[in-house]
Amino acid sequence: MILKVYTSLWLLFLVNSVWTRTVRQVYDDLDPGHWSHYTSECPQECFCPPSFPNALYCDNKGLKEIPPIPARIWYLYLQNNQIETISEKPFANATHLRWINLNKNKITNSGIENGVLSKLKRLLYLFLEDNELEEVPAPLPVGLEQLRLARNKISKIPEGVFSHLENLTMLDLHQNSLLDSALQSDTFQGLNNLMQLNIAKNSLKKMPLSIPANTLQLFLDNNSIEVIPENYFSAIPKVTFLRLNYNKLSDDGIPPNGFNVSSILDLQLSHNQLTKIPPINAHLEHLHLDHNKIKSVNGTQMCPVSIALEEDYGYYGNIPRLRYLRLDGNEIQPPIPLDVMICFRLLQAVVI
């Protein structure tokens, strides 16, 4: 199970670099005689590298509109401009686009021509961070694998906007204006292969409803969440990385064994209002509890297995796998109790 999780995460993080490197290798072997043709097609405002003819670099050019995109382009870089609209005309010949970066522009929902994005049938990566969107744009290309919408003004997610995005593995909505009311029970319906969901830095007071079952990484930092519902994580049995830093969680807001979940390997609860360490699972490897109100650590109570049994079975038993423990910014006085070290024999670092 853990091997599968790490394999999936490795693919998620490295797919961009591996794919790009492979494409570069293919086109490095092209006949230089074709380069003049590629240069003549290149929009005057942009740069078309001869060694990478499928890429078009129009970033940091002060553009107010998107130039005509040549048919050969797969990778389109338009970040750091003054673009306000996305219309169909520039993409008339761009039927092979895989990647569009439109970060740091001035794009609004009204500036996106109806249906223009969904017509980009081969698009896999769409970056629209740091714009002026007030809702998730729709409709979207059905083949999308990554959708990045961080740092906009999004407060609304249209009904069914994700329902056909079965290939989406990453959805980034952090630092927007989402309230609990924006996340309905069917909001994420259809995201059957989602691996990473980032809703950090919004205005949530509750844990979001109906997270896709295959989610591995769930980021909810910097909200105002106070309560973890009973058995919340049973609906997302593969969640591995969970970040709830900078919320308003207290001891009363966490049900018994709320975080005692075998799939979670990295649990971050920094900057909350906890006065004691919540029960954890023996599979947990990284635990961040810094900057809470914890006054003491009791290794016997904290240990997810019986210390006596652990001593009997040693490394052949189900010993806890905790390797990193952060407790600084609390009211704990060193040294760490010996029973903590006896329980967590694999600990490599304790910050206090």
What's the whole-number mean pLDDT along residues 218-246? 97
Angstrom distance (rounded) from CA 38 to CA 31: 12
Q: Are 125 and 100 in contact (CB under 8 A)?
A: yes
pLDDT over 70 for what percent of the chain?
86
Q: How confident is the model at residue 1 (pLDDT cuts 50, 70, 90)?
A: very low
Tell me the one-letter amino acid at 145.
E
Position 21 pLDDT exceeds 50 = no
Residue 60, number of CB atoms within 10 A of its CB: 12
pLDDT digits (tens, 9 = 90+) for 241-299: 999 999 999 999 999 999 999 999 999 999 999 999 999 999 999 999 999 999 999 98
Find where tokens 């797919």 sit. 15
Please state whether the peptide bond connecting residue 139 to the residue before it is cis, i.e. omega within 30 degrees of 0: yes
Position 18 pLDDT exceeds 80 = no
What's the whole-number mean pLDDT along residues 12-17? 48
pLDDT of residue 41: 82
- Sign for the CA dihedral angle at 232, 304, 199, 5 comes to negative
Q: Which two tokens stand for residue 100?
A: 């569009």
Average pLDDT, the chain: 89
Label the pairing between strands 99-101 and 196-198: unpaired
pLDDT of residue 38: 52
Position 190 pLDDT exceeds 70 = yes
Q: Is 143 exposed, middle or buried (0-12, 13-18, 19+ CB in 10 A)?
A: middle
pTM above 0.85, yes or no: yes
pLDDT digits (tens, 9 = 90+) for 75-113: 999 999 999 999 999 999 999 999 999 999 999 999 999
- Sign for the CA dihedral angle at 19, 21, 26, 28 comes to positive
